[in-house]
Amino acid sequence: MIPLERHPWNTGFTWPEHRGPFRAVTPEQAKAYDEQGFFVLEDAVDPTTIAALDAAIAPFDREVLDFLHTQPDGRFSIAGVDTVSIAIHVSARSTMLADFCAAPLFADLCHDLIGPDARLYWDQAVYKRAHSSEPVLWHQDNGYTYVEPQAYLTCWVALTDATPENGCVEVLPGIHRNGTVAHVDTPIGFQCCENPEGAVPVPVRAGSIVVFSSLTPHATGYNRTDEVRKAYILQYAPDGAVALQGDPARGAPTGRVTQDDPRRQFPVLVDSTPSPGSRLF
Ligand SMILES: O=C(O)CCC(=O)C(=O)O
């Protein structure tokens, strides 16, 4: 295993093993999640729903592209008209997307991999533009915003086929078990390693979901094709999760913000019961 440096705020982490009983995952998938930090739910979302997601996200992606076109060089943070467009918190603006995020499949995944009480923590559509000019660098999701508990759940829903040619997810197995590692802040995003040995490309068909931990280092390469590669990314955290504020290079966190914004961080599982009705708009 690559000896990546620990994040300064990561002291005393123990990976929570998943022992069941399970509702959505097989024992083999739970084992893969525990040992490798990821697995794939093949063809989990039907083509009609994928088309509906694509249609629901389209105006938000258009809005992001219009905004990026007003920015110097068409760029804002890691996004750019010639690289990747990222539409965040779209479930707060679409009943269809909110319902999708609260669907029984995700409530059951939360039950299996998060615990009895879970909320949507974050959702975003990430569209890698045709012939994109940059990769998404190797990072853990918890390397961007440091959340506690550190281990939350990312579901990368492929809206188009994702291949090595158009920038599918690549993961680095095993690292997740040590918790959050140190990241450097580069002009094109946070980075925890470069060209790591043992990286695994995860090509998937549209409708499949790459399920991985917030602690699983991952990256996506260039899109070398003529078509946009589309993904809708849903993240779930235990109820009561907090985001730590501050600069890890400058010492201890300066604040803790509970992740329970009712507009976009609604409960999906309450006391092990799916809770789509508890969304607020
Ligand atoms: O979908 C992508 O290209 C990368 C997305 C990603 O790594 C993320 O949102 O953390």
Q: Ligand 1, atom 8: nearest CA belongs to which residue?
A: 141
Q: Give the residues across from 114 on adjacent strands.
A: none
Q: Residue 1's pLDDT is what? A: 44
Q: Ligand 1, atom 3: nearest CA belongs to which residue?
A: 220
Sole residue written with tokens 């994928």? 50
Nearest-10 Cα torsion for 93, 95, 98, 102: 170
Report which ligand 1 atom has the smallest distance to the Cα of 167: 3
Q: Ligand 1, atom 7: nearest CA belongs to which residue?
A: 219
- Ligand 1 pocket mutation, candidates 136, 159, 214, criterion most atoms within 8 A of CB: 136
**Could you tell me which of 153, 148, 221, 137 has the C-alpha nearest to residue 180?**
148
State in Å: Cα 5 to ligand 1 middle. 22
C-alpha of 129 from chain center: 18
Which positions of the chain have pLDDT values less than 50? Answer: 1, 280-281
Sole residue written with tokens 């853990």? 140
- Render 44-62 in DSSP notation, one character per residue: -S-HHHHHHHHHHHHHHHH
Separation between Cα atoms, residue 275 and residue 254, nearest integer Å: 33
Separation between Cα atoms, residue 148 and residue 216, nearest integer Å: 15
Q: Residue 201's pLDDT is what? A: 98
Separation between Cα atoms, residue 167 and residue 225, nearest integer Å: 9
State in Å: Cα 21 to ligand 1 middle. 30
Characterise 240 by phi-psi region: left (phi > 0), alpha (psi -120 to 50), beta (else): left
Q: Residue 276's pLDDT is what? A: 62
Where does ligand 1 bind, in terms of residues with CB under 6 Å?
Answer: 126, 128, 136, 141, 167, 218, 220, 231, 233
State in Å: Cα 258 to ligand 1 middle. 23
Q: Give the residues across from 40 on adjacent strands.
A: 210
Q: Residue 28's pLDDT is what? A: 98
State in Å: Cα 126 to ligand 1 middle. 6
Separation between Cα atoms, residue 30 and residue 35, nearest integer Å: 9
Report which ligand 1 atom has the smallest distance to the Cα of 124: 9
CB 105 within 8 A of CB 157: no
State in Å: Cα 219 to ligand 1 middle. 7
Q: Residue 2's pLDDT is what? A: 54
Reported as a single tens digit per residue, the pLDDT across 150-175 is 999 999 999 999 999 999 999 999 99
State in Å: Cα 271 to ligand 1 middle. 30
State in Å: Cα 46 to ligand 1 middle. 22
For helices 27-35 and 104-113, the axis angle rounded to 10 degrees is 60
Q: What is the pTM of this model?
A: 0.96
Q: Which domains, and CATH codes, for the chain?
A: 39-247 (2.60.120.620)
**Could you tell me which of 45, 44, 39, 29 has the C-alpha nearest to residue 171?**
39
Reported as a single tens digit per residue, the pLDDT across 95-107 is 999 999 999 999 9
State in Å: Cα 218 to ligand 1 middle. 8
Q: Residue 275's pLDDT is what? A: 85
Q: Ligand 1, atom 5: nearest CA belongs to which residue?
A: 126
Q: Residue 277's pLDDT is what? A: 56
CB 168 within 8 A of CB 162: yes
- Ligand 1 pocket mutation, candidates 169, 208, 209, criterion most atoms within 8 A of CB: 169
